[in-house]
Amino acid sequence: MSNLLRKADGTQGKVHDITPETAGWGYVGFALYRLAAGDRVSEATGENEAILVIVEGKAQITASGQDWGVMGARMDVFERTPPHCLYVPNGDTWEAVATTDCTLAVCRAPGKGGHKAQRLGPEGIELTPRGKGTNTRYVNNIAMEARDVADSLLVTEVFTPAGHWSSYPSHRHDEDDFPRMTYLEETYYHRLNPAQGFGIQRVYTEDGSLDETMAVKNHDLVLVPKGHHPCGAPYGYDMYYLNVMAGPLRKWRFQNDPDHDWIAQRDA
Q: Is the pLDDT of residue 103 over 70?
A: yes
> Could you count the other beta carbons within 10 Å of the beta carbon of residue 31?
19
- The per-residue pLDDT for range 152-198, each reduced to its tens digit, is 999 999 999 999 999 999 999 999 999 999 999 999 999 999 999 99
pLDDT reported for residue 267: 83
Q: Is the pLDDT of residue 92 over 90?
A: yes
Q: Which CATH architecture has domain 5-267?
A: Sandwich (2.60)
User: Distance between CA atoms of 78 and 76, rounded to whole angstroms?
Assistant: 5
Query: Mean pLDDT over residues 69-92, rounded?
Result: 97
Name the residue among 140, 136, 173, 165 with its Cα closest to residue 155.
140
Q: Is the pLDDT of residue 250 over 90?
A: yes
Domains in the chain: boundaries: 5-267
- The per-residue pLDDT for range 5-62, each reduced to its tens digit, is 999 999 999 999 999 999 999 999 999 999 999 999 999 999 999 999 999 999 999 9
Residues 32, 105 contacting (CB under 8 angstroms): yes
Q: Is the pLDDT of residue 2 over 80?
A: no
Burial (Cβ within 10 Å: 0-12, 13-18, ≥19) of residue 85: buried
User: Distance between CA atoms of 86 and 54, rounded to whole angstroms?
Assistant: 9
pLDDT reported for residue 235: 98
- The per-residue pLDDT for range 113-127, each reduced to its tens digit, is 999 999 998 999 999
pLDDT reported for residue 268: 75
Name the residue among 137, 149, 155, 147 with its Cα closest to residue 80.
137
Residues 91, 113 contacting (CB under 8 angstroms): yes
Name the residue among 8, 125, 104 with its Cα closest to residue 57.
104
